[in-house]
Amino acid sequence: MTKKFIGKRVKRNEDPRLLTGQALFVDDVEIPGMLHAAFLRSDYAHARLLSIDVSAARQRPGVVAVFTAEDMGEDWQPGPPLVSPPPTAKDVIFHSRRQVPLVKDKVRHAGEAIAVVIAESRYIAEDAVEDILVELEPLEAVSDLEKSLQEGSTLVHDDLESNLAAHLIQKKGDYEAAREKADLVITRRIVTDRGAAAAMENRGIVAHWDEKSQHLTVWDTTQAPIPIRNGLAARLGLSANQVRVIAPFVGGGFGPKMMMFYPEEMLIPWASMKLSRPIKWIEDRRENFYATTQERGQNHDVELALSRDGHILGLKDVFLHDTGAYDPYGLTIPLNTQCHLMGPYDIENFTSEVSVVFTNKTLVTPVRGAGRPQGIFIIERLLDIAAKELGIDQVEIRKRNLIPPEAFPYEHKIIDQAFAPLVLDSGNYWPVMKKALDMIGYDQFVKEEQPRLRAEGKYVGIGITPFIESTGVGPYEGARVTVEASGKVFVATGVGTQGQGHFTTFAQIVAEQLGVAVSDVRIVTGDTTEFHWGTGTFASRGAVVAGNAIHASASIVRQKVLKLACKILETPEEELELECGLVRVADTPHKSISLGELALLANPLRGAVEPGTEPGLEATAYFGPQYGATAFGTHAMIIEIDPETMMIAIKRYITVEDCGTVLNPLILEGQIHGGVSMGIGNAYYEKLHFDENGQLLNASFADYLIPSATEMPRIEVGHVETTSPLNELGTKGVGEAGTIPVPALFSQAIENALYNRELEILETPLSPNRLFELLVNEEKSR
Amino acid sequence: MTINTHPTLPEFEYVRPETLAEASEFLTRYPGEARPFLGGTDIFVRMRDGLITPNFLVDVKKLDGTNDLRFEPQAGLTLGAAVNMNRVIASREVQAHYPLLAEACRSVASYQLRTRATVVGNICNASPAGDTIGACLVFNGVLHIHEVNGLRQEPLAEFFLGPGKTTLKPGDIVTAIHLPLPPKGCAGVYLKLGRNKLSDLSLVGVTALGHPDPSLPSGYRFRLALASVAPVPLVPTQAETYLANQPITPETIREAAHLAAEACAPIDDLRGSARYRKEMVRNLSAKALSEVWEKLK
């Protein structure tokens, strides 16, 4: 069936509000009598709290309250675990140690909150923070991943025998036997380091406990309003119906805002109830560097076994994953890494052993990519090395190993982040890669242009990196679709929105079923009063899981519309069509009734309705996929390196995406652009530098560099659609796709550009300075 | 004891004297507590981060002459302390006679910040990374300083003592920088290396100026100034002397660049290693000198 709305480049419904400054963000919330919070945070990464004296702070005029862990009494509880250890894997070690609301005995990372001041203004609150006298006994800090597991290392959690947070081995086939048969075994140490999500909007919370109505309203920059509502109700001893959590417009989520129950997220509502006053806390940028979660620190010792013709026989990877001071997010990231280590390739023998380690650093939870970029970086680096050693073309070695289209659904025989067997639902990989090669003119560049430019003394390189992205995981989302008497359609769903264009793509899905204009569909996301059930916006799942729930609800409403219209228009349902907000007889268009009139008739004031009839044109439905849909894509890039400064210029940047059914190419491309910019940051600009004392050395945007418009190339986006069989819309997620392959792509293109050097890049992120250092080392080793 | 995770400006008194004498008198009365105040682009950041804690900021932007940008065909350019960088960039006289200074100003941060940032502020901040200092050095800039006992002039070349340290004494107010007339037939270039194309502090900055000078064996005088590679903005005199005495060729330019790199003593920090910076001085000096030489030939 040809689609009228899905797949069209519809401009975003939400943009006029956003562009004219009319959209509500958390910091826009102003309530009479509102107080403001500021936190006292530890300077040390690891220290024992000896004493704390808040008396001077309490006496400062304008200070309403100061709370320490002691003051919280029984209410002091570590945050809830977000994800439990995998029940389906054997011999798993998992030590759950969750973040605490305020430090009670020991500081475990720099920036951990020790006390909170509530005052009449933020200014007073911050001045009062400086009045607090706190005595900390510094302890040796655990910063390095390797050292954290060494005998005698200081313990982040004193009750554990070591800093091992978790341990898990996943196997399929027989790697050792495959290794025996291999013509070439590549063994390398590959390291990935930390970056920040650096959303434009920092975190923020406004909590308002209304004593008279016994109701708590919380505005929160969370990606998961419903779980926050549920958790707050449980912790604060309230019914879920006494708590309303609103995640309004949010200036970027990127994963860290999916982390649930940050200390501040629990404390501010708790304090509002204690004081019966509304309280606002807005995180500042420096707090964000210390207290908002980060990602990507892993050390891999990896082996790739290949036959002479470049076929991968097996992969073995033993790696360390840095979880920071606590591990509320369980094994999600290292499991994602394991699930992406084999990339889009058909690999029969695989062993992966991960040790998750505690360090005295900021907590690690998913950041756009969530373990996937690391997995792709490893396999793609190894293939580049293998191609060189075997004398096979970079593209050819990949083509030979791609999972063939007939192999789908492809069972990987390991478990994924949802603890379900990893199955790649569908795909047709080579045409996507081929399209990227064609778009960038690979053959022509390699055969003609590159030799010519090299002869001119230029260092130009090309990279081409395919990747998979597991997306759209369960458990479920739901939605309620209502045709209103105005003829407009109202949709409520539980996910939060942080710029993904939900107000448009979701509206397109509804418009497709009900034949109304996209602008006549009003979407509400992220308000627990509007929709009661759901999980959140993460893991590239909005369009897949919430999208299909909306599709399901809209389909039911369509049936209700047709059933009622068939009676009123005295025409069989098959002969009716939904167009322009009307139900009309297909070959007699003047015989019609508007959806608004139908909605009124569906909710009569008098008379009898048939048994089993529900009032109104409304339906609520849920969607939970059997397992996550796996998207595929390929990025290609041509760069030029200034051999004197190691500054790079991106000459071409191509992405080809196969995320199944495209709902709106305009929005899809926007997500890709944003993802690529984040990937470029990961690859060449952004790195958090922690010293051996666990101190973050570049906690400001003057020192921590994010790419800006001047670093962004023009991105050419191509699409291929291999629909997912796992949902009716055929969608797969794409939110993280732009980011995932970029560090691998950069390394390949840089090595290709510096063709006359024996450079092997085994780390990410890089920088001009770091690339220079690598080349100096290469020169020395020659 | 604790991280200042809520960096805000500490309390201070804002003072706006009516006359230079009054300003100097006030600054002398509160040595160590009062500081002259121009655009605030550096001072506020350093106050926010707790690096300095002045009790008084003495605004000198309305004082006599500090807002003047004056070019005299016989004497050169006098740039008042309060003249912001966007005014410098937009000035026809600067564009005509000191395009190198305009180029250096354009490399500083963003347009918005340049409406506050001043060249004199950049100088007085005495950061080795100051982008506009090099141009003022190679044009032989002279500072006009108001002190309690009157006025004095001080060559910029002798002004810097260390990072953030200058010859200024309590009560001193730099009212202007004066650049003598540019040498006849001169050409200049400022090459700035940041980690990104816009807004980063310079990892390395190279200012080069050249002009014909028949009194020298080579027939040309080249001036160089290096940013971010020593405790103070650095003039590598060995390189300048070398080019004064050798015929200008690609080889001698390379050797001069080598001498420039040898003259500097950069530090390792998060932005770049000392080794990288030194190498960049070599590469960028060679590039800058070649570009200037191309214009002179």
Structure tokens at A474: 């369960």
> Which of A284, A767, A772 lies closest to B195 in CB terms?
A767
pLDDT at A207: 98
Q: Which residues is A402 bridged to in the sheet? A: A345
Q: Which residues of A touch B197 (CB under 8 A)?
A: 710-711
Output the pTM of the full model. Answer: 0.94
Do A736 and A370 touch, CB atoms closer than 8 A?
yes
- H/E stretch holding A753 reads helix A742-753
CA–CA separation, B185 and B197 (whole Å): 30
Stretch B251-260: mean pLDDT: 97
Which B residues 76-105 touch A at CB under 8 Å?
none
Measured CA to CA, the distance from residue B267 to residue B284 in angstroms comes to 18
**A206 and A79 belong to one structural domain:** yes
Name the CATH superfamily for B187-296: CO dehydrogenase flavoprotein, C-terminal domain (3.30.390.50)
Q: CA A195, CA A206: separation in Å to the nearest integer?
A: 28
Residue A510 and residue A645 in one domain: no
pLDDT exceeds cutoff 60 at B6: no
* Per-residue confidence (pLDDT) for residue B9, from 0 to 100: 81
Of A41, A123, A773, the CB nearest to B276: A773
Please, which residues have CB within 8 angstroms of residue A759's CB and are 6 or more apart in sequence? A750, A751, A774, A775, A778
Q: Which residue has the tokens 């050169």?
A: B76
Is the predicted pLDDT of residue A702 greater than 90, yes or no?
Answer: no
Mapping DSSP onto H, E and C, the string for A386-418 reads HHHHHCCCHHHHHHHHECCHHHCCEEEEEECCC
- Among candidates B1, B196, B280 on the partner chain, residue whose Cβ is nearest the Cβ of A711: B196
Predicted pLDDT at B4: 53
Tell if the CB–CB gap between B7 and A286 is shorter than 8 Å: yes
Q: What is the pLDDT of residue B231?
A: 92
Q: Report the alpha-carbon distance of residue A510 to residue A553 in Å, rounded.
A: 9
List the beta bridge partners of residue A138.
A47
Q: Is residue A47 part of a domain?
A: yes
State whether A122 and A243 are in the same domain: yes
**If DSSP states are collapsed to H, E and C, what string results for B239-294?**
HHHHHHHCCCCHHHHHHHHHHHHHHCCCCCCCCCCHHHHHHHHHHHHHHHHHHHHH
- Partners of residue A56 in chain B, C-beta under 8 Å: none
Tell me whether A194 touches chain B (CB under 8 Å).
Answer: no
Angle made by CA atoms A157, A158, A164, in degrees to the nearest 5 = 50
**Mutate which of A136, A645, A767 to disrupt the B interface (most B C-beta within 10 Å)?**
A645
CA contacts within 13 A on the Cβ side of B107: 29
Answer whether B2 touches A (CB < 8 Å).
Answer: yes
Q: Which of A38, A111, A647 sits opposite B3 (nearest CB)?
A: A111
Report the alpha-carbon distance of residue A6 to residue A22 in Å, rounded. Answer: 27
A53-62, A402-411, A607-616: the lowest-pLDDT one: A607-616
A600: pLDDT strictly greater than 80? yes
Model confidence at B76: pLDDT above 60: yes
* Mean pLDDT value of segment A681-695: 95
Q: Which pLDDT tens digit goes with each residue over B18-36?
A: 999 999 999 999 999 999 9
Give dist(CA B42, CA B49) in Å, integer.
11
Residue A495's domain comprises 15-21+474-623
ipTM of the complex, rounded to two decimals: 0.90
- The reply to whether A548 and A683 lie within a common domain is no
- What CATH number did the domain enclosing A463 receive? 3.30.365.10
Helix (H) or strand (E) run with residue A176 in it: helix A175-181
The confidence score (pLDDT) of residue A772 equals 96
Q: What is the three-class DSSP state of A137?
A: strand
Claim to verify: residue A726 and residue A711 sit in the same structural domain: yes
Query: Whole-number mean pLDDT of chain A?
Result: 95
Residue A160 within any structural domain of the chain: no
- Provide the pLDDT for residue B196: 80
pLDDT at B17 over 90: yes
Q: What is the pLDDT of residue A89?
A: 66
Q: Tell me whether residues B3 and A284 touch, CB distance under 8 A.
A: no
Are B188 and B208 within 8 A, CB to CB? yes
Cross-chain CB nearest to A287 (options B5, B272, B284)? B5
Q: Give the confidence band of A670 by pLDDT, cuts at 50, 70, 90.
A: very high
- Tell me how close the Cα of B5 comes to any Cα of chain A, in angstroms: 6
**Contact A136/B at CB under 8 A:** yes
Per-residue model confidence (pLDDT) at position B149: 85
Q: What is the CATH number of the domain that holds A216?
A: 3.90.1170.50
Quick one: pLDDT at residue A148? Answer: 97
pLDDT of residue B2: 46
Q: Is the pLDDT of residue A240 over 50?
A: yes
In the block, residue with structure tokens 């140490």: A189
Q: Is A768 on the interface with B (CB under 8 A)?
A: yes
Cα dihedral A451, A453, A458, A459 in deg (nearest 10): -50
pLDDT at A86 (0 to 100):
66
Q: Which residues of chain A are within 8 Å of residue B272 when distances are taken between CB atoms?
A: 768-769
Query: In terms of domains, do A478 and A440 share one?
Result: no
Interatomic CA distance for residues A307 and A484, integer angstroms: 64
- Please judge whether B198 and A110 are an interchain contact, meaning their C-beta atoms are less than 8 angstroms apart: no
- Determine, for residues A111 and B280 on separate chains, whether the beta-carbon distance falls below 8 Å: no
Using the 8-state DSSP alphabet, how is residue A520 labeled? G
- φ and ψ at A464, to 5 degrees? -145, 120
Residue A417 contacts residue A361 (beta carbons within 8 Å): no
pLDDT score recorded for residue B1: 39
Per-domain residue ranges for chain B? 13-56, 69-179, 187-296
Does residue A149 lie in a domain region? no
Residue A177 lies in a domain: no
Residue range A3-55, pLDDT digits in tens: 999 999 999 999 999 999 999 999 999 999 999 999 999 999 999 999 999 99
Residue A1 has pLDDT above 80, yes or no: no
Which tokens hold the place of B258?
Answer: 């080598």
Q: Rounded to whole angstroms, what are the CA distances from B294 to A564, A720, B259, B288, B289? A: 83, 51, 21, 10, 9
Has residue A2 got a pLDDT over 90? Answer: no
Edge-to-edge strands, sheet with A93-94 = A93-94, A164-172, A349-358, A312-324, A298-306, A184-192, A763-764
- Closest-CA residue of A relative to B198 is A710
Per-residue pLDDT reduced to its tens digit, A604-613: 888 877 788 8
A710 with B197: Cβ contact below 8 A: yes
Cβ neighbours of residue A67 closer than 8 Å, sequence gap 6 or more: A102, A115, A116, A118, A267, A271, A274
Q: How far is residue A175's CA from residue A640's CA, in Å, rounded to a whole number?
A: 39
A544 shares a domain with A482: yes
**Chain B residue whose CA is closest to A135:** B1
**Do residues A652 and A762 both lie within one domain?**
yes
Q: What is the count of structural domains for chain A?
A: 3
- Let me know if residue A416 belongs to a domain: yes
Q: Does A128 touch chain B (CB under 8 A)?
A: no
Query: Is residue A461 one of the residues assigned to a domain?
Result: yes
Instruction: Tell me, yes or no, whether A145 lies in a domain.
Output: no
Instruction: Summarize the confidence of residues A290-299 as an average pLDDT.
Output: 97
A459 touches chain B (CB under 8 A): no
Residues A266 and A335 in one domain: no
Which among A437, A466, A451, A374 has a CA at the least distance from the CA of A752?
A: A451
Average pLDDT over residues A365-388: 97
pLDDT of residue B200: 81
Instruction: Give yes or no for B287 touching A (CB within 8 A).
Output: yes
Task: Look at residue A85 in the predicted model and tell me its pLDDT.
Answer: 67
- Predicted confidence at residue A649, as pLDDT, reads 96
Assess A702–B contact: CB distance below 8 Å, yes or no: yes
pLDDT at res. A612:
81
Contact B284 A114 (CB under 8 A): no
* DSSP for residue A347: -
A76-123 confidence digits (pLDDT tens) = 999 887 777 667 667 889 999 999 999 999 999 999 999 999 999 999
Mean pLDDT of A422-450: 97
B2 min Cα distance to partner chain A (Å): 4
Looking at the structure, tell me whether residues A319 and A431 fall in a common domain: yes
Taking only the tens place, the pLDDT of each residue in A462-495 is 999 999 999 988 899 999 999 999 999 999 999 9
CB contact under 8 A, B200 and A705: yes
B69-179 has CATH 3.30.465.10 classification: yes
The mean pLDDT value for B245-258 works out to 97
Instruction: Verify that A273 and A298 share a domain, yes or no.
Output: no
Residue A158 lies in a domain: no
Q: Nearest chain A Cα to B7, which residue?
A: A286
Of A611 and A446, the one with more pLDDT: A446
The verdict on A224 and A373 lying in the same domain is no
**What's the whole-number mean pLDDT along residues B81-95?**
97
